[in-house]
Structure 1
Amino acid sequence: MDISKVRAILFDLDGTLYYQPPLRMLMGFELSTLPLTMGSLAKTRSVLEVIKQFRTIREELRHLGNPSECLKEIQYQQASKVVGVKAEEVKRIVEEWMYHRPLKYLKWCRRMGAISFFTEAQRRGIKIGVFSDYPAQEKLEALELESFVQLVLCATDKEINAFKPHPRGFLRACECWGLPPQEVLYVGDRPEVDGKGALAAGMPCMMVGGTFQRPSQGSVSEENISSFRGLQQLLSS
């Protein structure tokens, strides 16, 4: 990959800037204490079912593309219908257990080499942004990476209103930076979501622990990248 042509790097967040397995283990332990803290198995089951169904519905909503309705509201309304509780309660549970409670663990799950890479990219004048399907600002602060990031986008922002792999969010980043997609590298961890969306936007992409793919008229080139240290070596070369 010719890194010299890259003027900005756009990152996914969940699974890309931190390791998900240890976070899931820690949150699983916390959820296991719910019967004691809530004093009710029925309430515990309700919370667990809301989280499970919300995750499932979010994946299904990827096929909606860019709907005319507000995607942020659709996700809670759809989950509400499935689990049989009010949309406001679904939102409360999701915000507590998926957005806020994990924050205290994120620093300890941050990917090795992330700070070093961000520091080097900043030194070289490369713009850094984050585009995630979930709200990212508080997570960046918990990861202690917010000072490196100039652009933070979420799929449910009104200017985007589309989950990955729809290209709208990727192109929105290019609009904000005033750069063509070919000069923005996207770094994610899910080829079927991050990679597919970036390529649909005409943007080169790299999967942490996976492969790099560059859109071209001919064959697609690939380059293995295993970690942020590998990404930094590529940047330095």
Structure 2
Amino acid sequence: MTFDWNTIDVVIFDVDGTLYNQSRLRRQMTRSLLSHYALRPWQAYDLQVIRIFRKEREKMCLDQVSNLEEAQYQRCAQKINVAPQKVKQIISKWMYQAPLPHLQACSYPGIQMFFNAMKKRGIKIAIYSDYPATDKLAAMGLEADLVVASTDESIDALKPNPAGLSYILTTFNTTPERCLFFGDRDELDGACARQAGMPYYILTETDKQTNFYSALAESVATPQPV
């Protein structure tokens, strides 16, 4: 896959599965969860909370839900009769904080090189994730010009709703044709880009096993005819 970098103002990235190997991280987190709760069996119901939260949040992609930040915890809480604040504490610990120390090792090869090459070329970098991503970027040693999450008050919509992409376009005062969106799930990232009329690329399993981003970094750094 080749891209004409002369025609691109902004490159937008999903995070989970796009900037790092999600399968590898999940294996690491499964080990962490099992070792933690093996010593605390009376707290093992937390695992059920995590499972239901993920399941319900996937369903919310098909719904038009307002106040998404709170609704995601409330929906899970209603399913398992737990206080929303308790759900939020468990999710914050195991989905937002505990993975951070492992993200650097799970990052795809060449991603930092790709980011640096785009910065040198003057291409803006935006992050659009369904989950908060600022801490994840810091853990991976990556910097972006703009970071937005579906749960932000200014977005308040999960993919494939293109609200996040529209917000990015407005912020950078550019058009969909001058952007490129990288994701790993066609039913979410691809559908989101199609609704916005934006060029996109969905990482393949081959991409995830090769130096895909390193090759892109080299192509960005190579002068192209205008």
Q: Which has the higher contact order (CA 8 A, sep 6+)?
A: 2
Give the share of equivalent positions with the same residue, in percent. Answer: 36
TM-align CA RMSD:
1.7
Name the CA distance, whole Å, in 2 between partners of 1:175 and 1:210.
32
8 A Cα contact 1:112 1:228, kept in partner: yes
Which one of 27, 30, 33 corresponds to residue 32 of structure 2?
30
Q: Could you tell me the TM-score, scaled by structure 1's length?
A: 0.87
Cα distance in 2, alignment partners of residues 139 and 17 from structure 1: 10
Rounded Cα–Cα distance in structure 1 between residues aligned with 2:205 and 2:21: 14
Q: Quick one: distance in 2 between partners of 1:198 and 1:192?
A: 10
Three-state SS of the structure 1 residue aligned to 2:109 is: coil
Contact residue 110 and residue 211 of structure 2 kept, 8 A: no
Contact kept? 2:180, 2:199, Cα under 8 Å: yes
1:206-226 CA distance string (max 9 Å, x none): 112279xxxxxxxxxxxxx97
- In structure 1, list runs of 5 or more residues that go unmatched: 212-224
Q: How many residues align?
A: 217
2:43 corresponds in structure 1 to: 43
1:195 to 190, 193, 209: 190
Deviation for aligned residue 1:233? 4.5
Structure 2 residue matching 1:63: 3-state secondary structure = coil
Q: Kindly tell me: are residues 233 and 209 of structure 1, through their superposed partners in 2, closer, same or farther at Cα, counting changes over 3 Å?
A: farther
Whole-angstrom distance in 2 between the partners of 1:43 and 1:98: 17
Which residue is 2:213 aligned to?
228
1:162 corresponds to 2:157: yes
Counterpart residue identity of residue 193, structure 1: L
Please give the TM-score of this superposition, normalised by the length of structure 2: 0.91
**Structure 2, unaligned stretches of length 5 or more?**
none
C-alpha separation between the residues in 2 aligned to 1:14 and 1:172?
20
8 Å contact from structure 2 (residues 109, 211) kept in 1: no
C-alpha distance in structure 2 between counterparts of 1:203 and 1:114, whole Å = 22
Whole-angstrom distance in 2 between the partners of 1:234 and 1:170: 25
SS at match of 1:185: strand
Question: Which residue is equivalent to 2:94?
Answer: 97
- Does 1:59 find its partner at 2:58? yes
